[in-house]
Amino acid sequence: MHAIGIDIGGTKIAGALVSENGEIIAEDRQPTPAGDAAHIVDIVSSMITRLQAGHEVVAAGVAAAGFVDAGQSTVYYAPNIDWRNEPLQRYISERVSLPITVDNDANAAGWAEFRFGAGRLLTDMTMLTIGTGVGGAIVTQGRLFRGGFGAGAELGHLRVVPDGLPCGCGARGCIEQYGSGRALLRMANGIADAGGIGLALADARSRHGELNGTIVGEMIAAGDPGAVNALQELGRWLGQACASLAAVLDPQVFVFGGGVSVAGDLLLDPIRESFLQHLPARGYHPEPGFVIAELVNDAGVVGAADLARIHAGRR
């Protein structure tokens, strides 16, 4: 039977009616009224009701960026939306006639990748989403890992540099400051400042006023040595983080999603190389795979729907 997945992002709310095989039957999207929590509940509730009309639906899952409790009902804290201990599951349940569950958006996207994408033939997968920040999801022995309080798998805040760069989370030296899209821009600017292979980056910066993800992404795709160098630096940091993660989690595969992952092998090669350099018991440790995510834009809604179906006991 179908389930509904809703992904509340910083700029848009995406919703979809999803089959048991992860296929999208119908979809909808609306702008996110950031800062207006009550209006978000209105939009999500009416989106669920519209997607449900005329179909047999078993449950609806709502994914959002933030800490969600282990009971999948309350958002402790959402950085982009003004939610502090928001009982989202109860608010939406009062307005729709379906069981509702709430999940972290990175967990939902990772779960979709595990069920229907790059991890579908495996039991243990670690996913890193390289967007503006670094998100993560962990699947162990076929189950999504949430931690004891529901706030686990925040892989972006794994510390890679003691007393390193300050992070938005309040700590220092998190991989998010060395392995994210924002870090890639910082590295590209550094290479532009240094001249040499950075001349084309410096030139693009002066033409456009500043470097952004699109410009640097295009220069990477075109093989510009400065831009590729910045990506390799990013990959080396991520490979180091993966070595630490492998020591704890021992995944069969690391999956990379998010905007920066469109670089493909140009990103994976330095990650794999640095991973092998930093891997504990190197040479004896079985090597995991390193792959790019397969479900790109739909992962959040597909994963949220599937997690809701599981929570409702219908799979």
Identify which of residues 173 and 226 has a Cβ nearer to Zn ion in the complex. 173
- Give the count of beta carbons closer than 10 Å to the beta carbon of residue 69: 17
Residues 6+ apart with CB under 8 A from 199: 226
Identify which of residues 25 and 171 has a Cβ nearer to Zn ion in the complex. 171
d(CA 59, CA 312): 7
Identify which of residues 130 and 167 has a Cβ nearer to Zn ion in the complex. 167
Sole window of 163-171, 200-208, 229-237, 257-265 interacting with Zn ion (rule: CB under 5 A): 163-171
- To Zn ion, the closest distance from the beta carbon of 9 in angstroms equals 20
Q: Does residue 175 touch Zn ion according to CB under 5 A?
A: no
Site map for Zn ion, 32-71, x if CB under 5 A?
----------------------------------------
Identify which of residues 175 and 307 has a Cβ nearer to Zn ion in the complex. 175
Q: Which of positions 131-160 make contact with Zn ion (CB under 5 A)?
A: 157
Total binding residues for Zn ion by CB under 5 A? Answer: 5
Identify which of residues 67 and 114 has a Cβ nearer to Zn ion in the complex. 67
Structure tokens at 9: 């992002």
- To Zn ion, the closest distance from the beta carbon of 171 in angstroms equals 5
- To Zn ion, the closest distance from the beta carbon of 250 in angstroms equals 24
Contact 310, 22 (CB under 8 A): no
Angular region, 131: left φ>0, alpha ψ -120 to 50, beta rest: beta
Structure tokens at 84: 């502090």
- To Zn ion, the closest distance from the beta carbon of 167 in angstroms equals 3
Q: Does residue 183 touch Zn ion according to CB under 5 A?
A: no
**What residues pair up with 139 in beta bridges, in sequence order?**
125, 144
Identify which of residues 167 and 302 has a Cβ nearer to Zn ion in the complex. 167
Q: Does residue 169 touch Zn ion according to CB under 5 A?
A: yes
Identify which of residues 180 and 189 has a Cβ nearer to Zn ion in the complex. 180
φ, ψ for residue 6, nearest 5 deg: -125, 135
φ, ψ for residue 20, nearest 5 deg: -65, -20
Q: Does residue 197 touch Zn ion according to CB under 5 A?
A: no
- To Zn ion, the closest distance from the beta carbon of 76 in angstroms equals 16
- To Zn ion, the closest distance from the beta carbon of 78 in angstroms equals 16
- To Zn ion, the closest distance from the beta carbon of 173 in angstroms equals 8
- Cα dist from 25 to 4, 20, 311, 315, whole Å: 10, 11, 21, 18
Identify which of residues 171 and 194 has a Cβ nearer to Zn ion in the complex. 171
Out of 174, 192, 227, 310, the only residue in the binding site for Zn ion (CB under 5 A) is 174
- To Zn ion, the closest distance from the beta carbon of 97 in angstroms equals 40
Identify which of residues 66 and 117 has a Cβ nearer to Zn ion in the complex. 66
- To Zn ion, the closest distance from the beta carbon of 79 in angstroms equals 11
Q: Does residue 167 touch Zn ion according to CB under 5 A?
A: yes
Residue 273: Cβ-neighbour burial (10 angstroms; 0-12, 13-18, 19+)? middle
Q: Which residues bind Zn ion (CB under 5 A)?
A: 157, 167, 169, 171, 174
